[in-house]
């Protein structure tokens, strides 16, 4: 429990007209090590209220930046054309919902977890957008071709140390990946020929030390591509974009 959580809680209680009993309950949950986002039950992501619970990863500020950068690149590469977008490992649906609101698009959002998809469907309904949710494994999905693939997949190595509040509360299926955290990136790259149209844009959130490995893998398995890496608010390499569109 920290002072920022307490201040956030007080603000939320005031804005929601909740009583002292709720404050006492929430503080008790914070002392147990439960994230403030799960206690309150939602977060503000890219201006959208997104429901969260223990079945989905808590959206991070960095992922808002992924959405923002992706929107700019879609507008650059596809101008005003309507695009087909696939969000791999959608979780709460925050990325898919945000892109659907901002881009002229058809959006599919895929997750292996039915419980996560139930949350995502509720979020889409609450935010007034139409997203097609698919209960499939991202490593084997090859049903349709898209202009844009976006993903914030699990990328923490199995032996990597992370904060207890994350490890003890958030779904491990959305956190950890085999092969030093690279497993899902390699699978996405392997599947690009099967799930992309002739011209495509791939948008990935990555671990801060993973860019070189992903770039090397992409250059071996894909032809005629342009790769760029962008940094997050902490000046760490956090986003990787792959395209075959020259612009």
Mean pLDDT of the chain: 94
pLDDT of residue 169: 86
Read off the pLDDT band of 15 (50, 70, 90): confident
Strand-pair category, 196-205 with 237-243: antiparallel
Tell me the pLDDT tens digit for each residue of 177-225: 898 999 999 999 999 999 999 999 999 999 999 999 999 999 999 999 9
pTM for the model: 0.94
pLDDT of residue 176: 84
Read off the pLDDT band of 1 (50, 70, 90): low
Can you list the domains of the chain with their CATH numbers? 1-40 (no CATH), 55-243 (3.40.50.150)
């Amino acid at each position: 429990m920290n002072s920022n959580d307490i201040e956030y809680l007080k603000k939320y209680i005031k804005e929601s007209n909740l009583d002292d009993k709720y404050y006492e309950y929430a503080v008790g949950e914070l002392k147990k090590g439960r994230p403030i986002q799960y206690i309150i039950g939602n977060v503000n992501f890219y201006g959208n209220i997104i429901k969260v619970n223990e079945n989905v990863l808590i959206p991070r500020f960095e992922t808002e930046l992924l959405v923002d950068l992706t929107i700019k690149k879609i507008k650059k590469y596809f101008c005003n054309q309507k695009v087909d977008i696939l969000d791999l490992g959608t979780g709460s649906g925050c990325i898919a919902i945000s892109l659907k609101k901002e881009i002229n698009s058809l959006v599919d959002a895929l997750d292996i977890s039915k419980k996560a998809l139930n949350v995502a469907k509720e979020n889409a309904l609450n935010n007034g957008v139409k997203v097609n949710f698919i209960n499939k494994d991202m490593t084997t999905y090859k049903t349709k071709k898209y202009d844009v693939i976006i993903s914030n997949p699990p990328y923490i190595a199995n032996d990597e140390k992370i904060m207890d509040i994350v490890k003890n509360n958030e779904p491990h299926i959305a956190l950890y990946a085999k092969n030093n955290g690279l497993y899902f990136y390699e699978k996405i790259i392997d599947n690009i020929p099967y799930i992309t149209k002739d011209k495509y844009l791939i948008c990935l959130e990555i671990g801060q030390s993973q860019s070189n490995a992903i770039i090397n893998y992409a250059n071996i398995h894909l032809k005629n591509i342009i790769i760029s890496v962008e940094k997050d608010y902490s000046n760490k390499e956090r986003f990787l974009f792959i395209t075959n569109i020259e612009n």
